[in-house]
Structure 1
Amino acid sequence: MTTPSSTTTTRARFLLLGDSHAGCVGRAARDAGLPFAGGPVGSGRDFLGPFCDTGAAGGLTFHAADTERLYRAALDTLEVTTLAGLPVPLVCTFGLSAHTVATRQNWDVHRDRHGAFPPGFPSSRLFARLVTATVRGALTFYDHTAALGLRVLAPLPPQRVPAMADPAVFFAAQDVIAAELTRRGVETVDLRHRVTDETGHQRPAFCERDDTIHGNTAFGRLILAELLDRGL
């Protein structure tokens, strides 16, 4: 887990919550001197299945003690006690760990004896239902933010598919998740047209070195620039 990197010298421009993919956004904001609260509060797999409980008056409690502690520290920075009182937009990567969703062994049951999926499987309703079930915890979180009327922006993850993940599942699952977030009023930040090559994978200039899944600070700067263009 990456330590959150809130900056508090002036009023924060946004609250950043997410997995390790949020780290490059925090680093870019810190390098630019842009104040924000929060940062990564867990790993990608932590925010797929159920991971929080919601209560009255906008209350939310994370199941993991470390995540809850980091979340509360971020709210303290903003001088609020619940998301209901959030005075700034929320930038969040919960549920967007597409490489985890695409773990090969989880999808082997759907392959034929030659290792192939049935024709059209990644675009099927069954596939979409399986993906949404996998990320149901994140969708519950975004249902909560929608009910509170929060402005939420979700950067799509780096287009990097490690060996343990299936590329076809990665790209198709990412689209399913993004569509579900859009249905909940989340603004997706999609930079694929700017950071990928002709194969759809992340170009080296935007990849963390000696790492198979993360974007680097240059990628974070592009996300940050897009957030600023949207008024954050």
Structure 2
Amino acid sequence: MTTPCSTTTAPARTTAPARFLLLGDSHAGCVGGAARAADLPFAGGPVGSGRDFLGPFFDADATGLTFRGAETERLHREFLDSLGARALGELAVPLVCTFGLSAHTVATRQNWDIHRDRHGAVPDAFLSGRLFADLVRATVRGALAFYDLTAALGLRVLAPLPPQRVPGMSDPRVFFAAQDVLSGELAARGVEIVDLRARVTDGTGLQRPAFCQADDTIHGNLAFGRLIVSELLDRGL
């Protein structure tokens, strides 16, 4: 079942020029919803689920890319057409993207069982070590390749961190450690991280209910999307 934050949307059609291109997984839905509610012109929306953008998911060329998923590629081309661009490399507005930041998927409990100690916990020393970082990078290698490409194309890219929500299938300590690795990798590629954790979390580091989608365990709500949009505007979008 889709939620208001996970429904793929068509490009926002307004008379004003689009301020940014939005591409991402279901976490991008709240950003698009908040931008539409504020009459902020943009193009894009969610183009798949978080898992779709961890392993290899595109083929690069001199000016951009082709998504391997047929529906994702159709949406990508539709969004670019609405912006008057023939390829991603011709993009004249910033790209707001959530690819690779689905930390709850990376933190799926069973993936880390082999690394647990006799008490059932993944040790701090492992979570802060090189092997853990290498495993996270390998898991999201497709997304990292995407941000390598956007850097090579000279695009301005902003990446909102996901809602700080950890479903039962995921290990919270792995979630937070993996997110630190992911955000560091993106920042190293010139991506601007939009980090609202200080404004939306409680003392445990988890998302406060006021910023959670009520009918699921993963997504942020429209209030969370509004905060992201406000931060994007503060950054000049």
- CA–CA distance in structure 2, aligned partners of residues 190 and 119 of structure 1: 23
Match of 1:75 in 2: 80
**Does 2:160 match 1:160?**
no
Question: What is the one-letter code of the residue matched to 2:209?
Answer: P
Q: 1:52 aligns with which of 58, 73, 81?
A: 58
TM-score calculated relative to the size of structure 1: 0.98
The residue number in structure 1 matching 2:204 is 199
* Cα shift at 1:217: 0.3
Q: Which runs of 5+ in 1 are unaligned?
A: none
Query: What's 1:125 paired with?
Result: 130
Which of 77, 82, 101 is residue 106 of structure 2 equivalent to?
101
2 CA distance for matches of 1:203 and 1:5? 30
1:32 to 38, 61, 69: 38
TM superposition shift of 1:210:
1.3
Question: Any unmatched runs of 5+ in structure 2?
Answer: 1-5
Q: What is the letter of the counterpart of residue 26 of structure 1? A: G
Q: Where has structure 1 moved over 3 Å in runs of 4 or more?
A: none
Secondary structure of 2:27's counterpart equals helix
Asked whether the 8 Å contact 2:112–2:122 carries over to 1, the reply is no
What is the letter of the counterpart of residue 122 of structure 2?
Answer: F
Q: Kindly provide the CA deviation profile for residues 204-228 of structure 1, in whole angstroms up to 9, marking residues without a partner as x.
A: 0000011100000000000000000
What is the identity percentage for the equivalent residue pairs of Structure 1 and Structure 2? Answer: 76
Alignment RMSD, CA only? 0.9
Alignment partner, residue 112 of structure 1: 117
Residue 114 of structure 1 and its aligned partner are, at CA, apart by 3.2
How far 1:115 sits from its partner (Å)? Answer: 1.5
Which one-letter code corresponds to 2:28 in the other structure? A
- Counterpart secondary structure, 2:158: strand
TM-score, normalised relative to structure 2: 0.95
Match of 2:228 in 1: 223
In the other structure, the counterpart of 1:138 is 143
- What is the CA deviation profile of residues 52-80 of structure 1, one whole-angstrom value per residue up to 9, with x for unaligned ones? 11012x12011111110111110011011
Counterpart of 2:3?
none
Structure 2 equivalent of residue 43 of structure 1: 49
2:175 is matched by which residue type in structure 1?
A: F
Find the partner of 2:20 among 14, 17, 21.
14
Distance in 2 of aligned mates of 1:155 and 1:5: 20
- Aligned equivalents of 1:119 and 1:59: distance in 2? 40
SS of 2:136 mapped into structure 1: helix
The aligned length equals 231
